[in-house]
Amino acid sequence: MDVWIDTHCHLDEFADHGGAALADAERARAAQAGVAHCVLPAVELANLQAVRDLAHRHGDSYALGIHPLFTPVAGDEDLPALARALEQYQDDPRLVAVGEIGLDLFVPHLDRGRQQHFYRVQLQLARRFDLPVILHVRRSADQLLKALRELPVRGGIAHAFNGSLQQAQAFIDLGFKLGFGGAVTFDRALQLRRLATELPLDALVVETDAPDIPPHWLYVTAAERAAGRPPARNTPAQLPRIGAVVAQLRGISSTELAHATRANACAALPRLAELLAQV
């Protein structure tokens, strides 16, 4: 069985909706499917401890950060509190990045100045603790890149990347890998599929963003939702099938893609290498 690394999974959200037992069950199903490791990013101060606890319980890893969509509810004390948590856990080998951080210029009415403030302070924290970052990139690639050039960090992952080839190359030049997940499985995602095909193999990592961004085989249409069918929930167990789609697009075997993306994940998040040596 191929061994896969899910570089972006919000396993704590399963616990929020169904208790710890549901999170544990989903992680077990993923392991049975060949997902050897998940990276669990925090999104706000309130779930920092939850992602750390889950990572330790399942032998996974975690990142600590404040997501741009949570900046409206974040308090002025949240950034200093995040700094204290990063300092407290800086020697924890399962802490692999600062994240999920970034900018979201798609959702209307979000305060862009506040997003920028949180993003830049968290880049400074990544520099202070010598950690890579996991970036939320939604219609914000150029702005993210501008700040990264001013505040360079130790690389990381541009999660759910869907920008241009030029933007992709700019992230790669700054030491980043690009995350591909459920969105690439849709036939109509022509630009994303072109990127997954044309980018160098050593630039790619795979992810689910579970329970978000379901692949096409789980997607529930608007008409189906209107008829009463609940929205689909992605799971980390879907990663091998998502990876198989990327491999098919590139004309390589799933085994080759699993091996390459595992190595790429270790390059993006260096602390992963030692953890995966135990797998």
The pLDDT of residue 237 is 98
Overall pTM surpassing 0.95 (yes/no): yes
CATH superfamily of 4-276: Metal-dependent hydrolases (3.20.20.140)
Backbone angles phi, psi at 64, to 5 degrees: -115, 125
Identify the pLDDT of residue 200. Answer: 98
Q: Is the pLDDT of residue 207 over 80?
A: yes
Taking residue 73's Cβ as centre, other Cβ atoms within 10 Å add up to 11
The mean pLDDT value for 204-232 works out to 92
Give the DSSP per-residue string, 203-220: GEEE---BTSS--TTT--
In the chain, what are the domain boundaries? 4-276
Q: Which residues are annotated as a binding site?
A: 8, 10, 100, 136, 159, 209
- For residue 18, the model assigns a pLDDT of 64
Report the alpha-carbon distance of residue 274 to residue 270 in Å, rounded. Answer: 8
Q: What pLDDT shows up at residue 227?
A: 87
Say what the pLDDT of residue 279 is: 66
Dump pLDDT digits (tens) for 134-174.
Answer: 999 999 999 999 999 999 999 999 999 999 999 999 999 99
Would you state the torsion angle of the CA atoms of residues 30, 235, 196, 261, taken in this order, to the nearest 10 degrees?
-30
Feature table: binding site for a divalent metal cation: 8, 10, 100, 136, 159, 209
Contact at 8 Å (CB) between 195 and 258? no
Beta bridge partners of 5: 37
Residues forming beta bridges with residue 178, ordered by sequence position: 158, 204
- Distances from the Cα of 78 to the Cα of 53, 85, 253, 276, angstroms: 20, 10, 45, 32
Quickly list DSSP for 86-110: HHHTTT-TTEEEEEEEEEE-SSTT-
